[in-house]
Amino acid sequence: MIKKRIIPCLDVKEGRVVKGIQFKGLRDIGDPIDLAKRYNALGADELVFLDISATETGNALMIDVIRQTARELFIPMTIGGGLKSIADISAVLNAGADKVSLNSAALNNPSLINETSEKFGAQCICIAIDAKWEENEQDWYCYTHGGKKKTAVRTLDWIKEVEERGAGELLVTSMDYDGMQQGFDHKLLSLIQQTVSIPVIASGGAGSAEHFAELFVATDVSAGLAASIFHDEDVSIQEVKELCESKGVRMRHV
Instruction: Exactly one of 88, 130, 178, 185 is catalytic; name it.
Output: 130
Question: Is there a domain that residue 117 lies in?
Answer: yes
| DSSP-assigned states of every residue in the chain | -PPBEEEEEEEEETTEEEEEETTEEEEEEE-HHHHHHHHHHTT-S-EEEEETTHHHH-PPP-HHHHHHHHHH-SS-EEEESS--SHHHHHHHHHHT-SEEEESHHHHH-THHHHHHHHHH-GGGEEEEEEEEEETTTTEEEEEETTTTEEEEEEHHHHHHHHHHTT--EEEEEETTTTTT-S---HHHHHHHHHH--S-EEEES---SHHHHHHHHHH---SEEEESHHHHTTSS-HHHHHHHHHHTT--B---
Question: Is there a domain that residue 253 lies in?
Answer: no
Domain span at residue 116 reads 5-246
Percentage with pLDDT > 70 across the chain: 93
Question: Is there a domain that residue 80 lies in?
Answer: yes
> What pLDDT score was predicted for residue 1?
65
As a whole number, mean pLDDT of residues 54-75 equals: 76
Look at residue 59 and tell me whether its pLDDT is greater than 60. Answer: no
Question: Is there a domain that residue 86 lies in?
Answer: yes
> What pLDDT score was predicted for residue 61?
63
Question: Is there a domain that residue 18 lies in?
Answer: yes
Question: Is there a domain that residue 199 lies in?
Answer: yes
Over residues 67-121, the pLDDT tens digits come to: 999 998 999 999 998 899 999 999 999 999 999 999 999 999 999 999 999 999 9
- How many domains are there within the chain? 1
The yes-or-no answer on residue 185 being catalytic is no
Range of lowest pLDDT (49-63, 79-93, 199-213):
49-63
pLDDT category at 22 given cuts 50, 70, 90 is: low
> What pLDDT score was predicted for residue 60?
59
> What pLDDT score was predicted for residue 14?
79
pLDDT category at 24 given cuts 50, 70, 90 is: low
As a whole number, mean pLDDT of residues 23-32 equals: 77
Question: Is there a domain that residue 206 lies in?
Answer: yes
Domain containing residue 103: CATH number: 3.20.20.70
The yes-or-no answer on residue 139 being catalytic is no
Instruction: Exactly one of 11, 45, 51, 185 is catalytic; name it.
Output: 11
